[in-house]
């Protein structure tokens, strides 16, 4: 089976000759420091060999738990935010029929997401939708104390118990959390929920290949073994022994750092398949939270083409030249569709007669690449043979390793997120959370000015 590939020609053409040779030592050092555990944040490197080291017994346990949920639920709500949510959603949306959620004859339970916002209307409408449904909940939180997730879980737990009875609720609520600490652990132990552990040394945004991502994906009816197999093959393709030019994760880290150093401060992740929208979202978190610190870091933005060519296309073509693009291109769609003949040809599209829709999409992709390169936007292209579990596994591991190496090259701790605490502290102070009395007083004085 061939691997995904990375083409950096249209990015290197923007950089001085010899750029790769210049960055090779820093990249090799950054990669080695992940492997030997000498980099900053080295207590969070558990994701590095998850694909090749996840025990068969854990995969079976996840599949068995998913089977229980699938048998007993028509809807599974995943409560989680950030790294405890985006990976599962990215994989499920990439693999699902776009209109599955509208179908009444579905084979798989609908997997819905909550706990990733505090929108009252969202929660109200979700709870209304769940009325009368045989729903279950997967409560995912590493800390077990995240407000958005805990709020949603409190509502969902109550409704599930009321609708389905406490005994059934205990069967269809599953926790994915820390082994020992946090409210989600305490509650899971007290209620006797089936639970899975998020390893101590795997941070949220690197946790999609743990039960955090695997359980929801299995519930949605997808093959988690193929996902792990793809990731494991990418782990091999990006091993320390593979030279940079042949090692996609190293090459990616080298080129994006070279571009950043050359004034390209924004990376735009691009897809030409709407199913990859949430893969963009997952990637934004992975790179944004890992690299954006110490006053440094490429700003990760994302667009869905061709949709956003009709909105952001103008900025990308002619705005400030501080951007580069990384395109995820799917070689072969799952379905075939051909343009039909029309006798009247009022839309003038008969020149496309007999062509596949994807041929038009691919020409849009090529035309966009040429136009953007002409407009001064360096272009990296990741070619993914097909959108299936195996290649999504490859893509996930490629991006994770590329991120770890990039962050080390940049000189930041890619595995912490001290900046996300600031809003929480203010929110708790404003809400008068016990323990925040001093902050509450200061906040009130500040706002009274
Ligand atoms: O990557 C991260 O660490 C964060 O995005 C967390 O995943 C997110 O804040 C949710 O945290 P928790 O799983 O503790 O609820």
Q: Is any atom of ligand 1 closer than 6 Å to the C-beta of 402?
A: no
Q: Which of 252, 255, 371 is nearest to 11 (CA)?
A: 255
Our mutation pick for probing the ligand 1 site, out of 47, 79, 83, counting the most ligand atoms within 8 A of Cβ, is 83
The DSSP secondary-structure symbol of 376 reads T
Q: Which of 195, 222, 249 is at the close of a domain? A: 222
Pocket probe mutation, ligand 1, options 46, 84, 212, 422, max atoms within 8 Å of Cβ:
84
The length of the chain is 449
Would 209 be classed as within a structural domain?
Answer: yes
Q: Write down which residue in 222, 245, 261 finishes a domain.
A: 222
Asked if 93 contacts 281 with a C-beta cutoff of 8 angstroms, the reply is: no
Parent domain of 71:
50-222
| End residue of a domain, out of 193, 222, 251 | 222
Q: Examine the domain organization and report whether 117 and 241 are in the same domain.
A: no
- Crossing angle of helices 56-72 and 224-237, in 10° steps, is 150
Q: Which atom of ligand 1 is nearest to the CA of 177?
A: 13
Short-list 198, 217, 256, 178, CA closest to 69? 217
The confidence score (pLDDT) of residue 51 equals 98
Give how far the C-alpha of residue 206 lies from the chain's centroid of Cα atoms, to the nearest Å. 9
| Below-50 pLDDT ranges, the chain | none
Predicted local confidence at residue 294, as pLDDT: 96
For residue 402, give the nearest of 422, 420, 386, 380 by alpha carbon.
380
Q: Same domain for 217 and 311?
A: no
What confidence score (pLDDT) does residue 189 get? 97
| Ligand 1 centroid, distance to 316 Cα (angstroms) | 31
* Whether residue 355 sits in one domain with residue 258: yes
Compute the distance between CA of residue 173 and CA of residue 69 in angstroms, rounded to an integer: 8
Would the CB of 81 count as within 6 Å of ligand 1? yes
Q: Examine residue 34 and state whether it is found in any structural domain, yes or no.
A: yes
Q: Is 143 in the pocket of ligand 1 (CB under 6 A)?
A: yes
Q: Give yes or no: residues 323 and 404 share one domain.
A: yes
**Are 73 and 203 in a shared domain?**
yes
What is the position in ligand 1's atom list of the atom closest to the CA of 206? 1
Pocket mutation for ligand 1, best pick of 87, 143, 206 (most atoms within 8 Å of C-beta): 143
Distance (angstroms) between ligand 1 centre and the Cα of 81 equals: 6
- Directed axis angle between helix 389-410 and helix 86-95, to 10°? 140
Q: Is residue 43 part of a domain?
A: no
Measured in Å, residue 212 CA sits from the centre of ligand 1 at 11
The answer to whether residue 57 is domain-embedded is yes
Q: Decide whether any atom of ligand 1 lies within 6 Å of the 115 Cβ.
A: no
Report how far residue 316's alpha carbon sits from residue 290's, in angstroms, rounded to the nearest whole number: 24
236: domain CATH number?
3.40.50.10490
319/200 same-domain check: no
**Residue 417 beta carbon below 6 angstroms from any ligand 1 atom:** yes
Task: Tell how far the Cα of 95 is from the centroid of ligand 1, in angstroms.
Answer: 24
Tens digit of each residue's pLDDT (9 = 90 or more) over 333-375: 999 999 999 999 999 999 999 999 999 999 999 999 999 999 9
Predicted confidence at residue 105, as pLDDT, reads: 87
Report the number of distinct structural domains present in the chain.
2
141 alpha carbon – ligand 1 mean position (Å):
7
Q: How far apart are CA 259 and CA 255, in angstroms?
A: 6
Which backbone phi and psi does 12 adopt, to 5 degrees? -65, -30
Q: Which of 16, 21, 430 has the alpha carbon at shortest distance from 243?
A: 21
Whose CA is closest to atom 9 on ligand 1? 82
Dist. CA 84 → ligand 1 center (Å):
6
Question: Do 271 and 191 lie in a common domain?
Answer: no
d(CA 287, CA 81): 16
The closest-lying atom of ligand 1 relative to the alpha carbon of residue 420 is: 9
Q: How far apart are CA 174 and CA 185, in angstroms?
A: 11
Asked if the structure places residue 13 within a domain, the reply is: yes
- In this prediction, residue 102 carries a pLDDT of 85
The answer for residues whose C-beta is within 8 angstroms of residue 379's C-beta and 6 or more apart is 10, 11, 324, 325, 326, 327, 369, 372, 373
Domain assignment present for residue 45? The answer is no
The span from the CA of 402 to the CA of 364, in Å, is 27
Residues classed as catalytic: 289, 310, 424
- CA dist 78 and 101 (Å) reads 15
Q: How far is the CA of 400 from the centre of ligand 1 (A)?
A: 16
What integer pLDDT is reported at residue 74 of this predicted model?
96
In angstroms, the CA 123 to CA 247 distance is 44
> Residue 170 pairs with which residues in a beta bridge?
none
Q: Is 337 left (phi over 0), alpha (psi -120 to 50) or beta?
A: beta
pLDDT of amino acid 424: 85
402 phi and psi angles, rounded to 5 deg = -55, -35
Please check whether residues 215 and 66 belong to one and the same domain: yes
Phi, psi of 142 (to 5 degrees): -70, -50
Both 165 and 314 in one domain: the answer is no
Q: 243 with 354, same domain?
A: yes
Same domain, 55 and 12: no
- For the Cβ of 84 lying below 6 angstroms from any atom of ligand 1, the answer is yes
Which ligand 1 atom is nearest residue 198's CA?
Answer: 13
Burial of 117 (0-12, 13-18, 19+ CB in 10 A): middle
Residue 284, C-beta contacts closer than 8 angstroms, at least 6 positions apart: 269, 300, 301, 302
In a domain, 430, yes or no: no
Q: Do 217 and 79 share a structural domain?
A: yes
Examine residue 439 and state whether it is found in any structural domain, yes or no: no
């Amino acid at each position: 089976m061939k691997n995904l590939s990375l083409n950096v020609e249209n990015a290197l053409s923007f950089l001085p000759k010899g750029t790769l040779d210049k960055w090779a030592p820093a990249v090799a050092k950054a990669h080695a420091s992940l492997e030997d555990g000498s980099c900053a944040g080295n207590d969070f490197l558990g994701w590095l060999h998850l694909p090749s080291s996840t025990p068969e017994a854990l995969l079976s346990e996840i599949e068995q738990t998913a089977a229980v949920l699938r048998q007993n639920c028509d809807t599974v709500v995943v409560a989680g935010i950030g790294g405890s949510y985006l990976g599962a959603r990215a994989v499920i949306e990439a693999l699902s029929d776009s209109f599955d959620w509208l179908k009444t004859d579905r084979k798989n339970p609908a997997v819905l997401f909550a706990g990733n916002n505090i929108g009252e209307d969202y929660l109200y409408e979700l709870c209304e939708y769940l009325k009368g449904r045989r729903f279950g909940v997967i409560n995912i939180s590493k800390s077990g104390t995240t407000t958005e997730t805990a709020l949603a879980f409190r509502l969902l737990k109550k409704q599930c118990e009321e609708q389905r009875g406490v005994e059934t609720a205990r069967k269809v609520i599953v926790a994915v959390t820390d082994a020992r600490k946090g409210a989600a652990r305490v509650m899971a132990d007290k209620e006797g929920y089936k639970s899975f552990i998020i390893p101590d040394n795997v941070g949220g945004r690197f946790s999609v290949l743990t039960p955090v991502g695997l359980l929801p994906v299995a519930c949605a009816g997808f093959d988690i073994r193929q996902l792990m197999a793809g990731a494991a093959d990418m782990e091999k393709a990006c091993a320390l022994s593979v030279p940079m030019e042949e090692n996609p994760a190293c090459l990616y880290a080298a080129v994006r750092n070279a571009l950043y150093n050359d004034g390209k401060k924004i990376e735009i992740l691009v897809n030409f398949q709407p199913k990859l929208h949430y893969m963009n979202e997952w990637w934004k978190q992975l790179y944004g939270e890992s690299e954006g610190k110490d006053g440094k870091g490429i700003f990760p933005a994302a667009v869905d083409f061709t949709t956003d060519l009709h909105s952001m296309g103008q900025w990308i073509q002619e705005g400030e030249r501080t951007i580069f693009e990384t395109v995820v291109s799917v070689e072969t769609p799952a379905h075939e569709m051909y343009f039909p003949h029309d006798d009247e040809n009022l839309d003038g599209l008969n020149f496309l007669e007999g062509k596949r829709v994807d041929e038009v999409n691919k020409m849009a992709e090529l035309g966009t690449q040429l136009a953007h390169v002409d407009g001064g936007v360096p272009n990296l292209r990741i070619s993914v043979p097909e959108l299936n579990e195996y290649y999504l596994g490859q893509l996930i591991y490629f991006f994770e390793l590329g991120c770890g190496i990039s962050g080390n090259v940049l000189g930041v701790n890619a595995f912490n997120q001290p900046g996300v605490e600031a809003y929480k502290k203010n929110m708790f102070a404003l809400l008068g959370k016990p323990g925040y009395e001093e902050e509450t007083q200061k906040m009130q004085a500040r706002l009274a000015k």
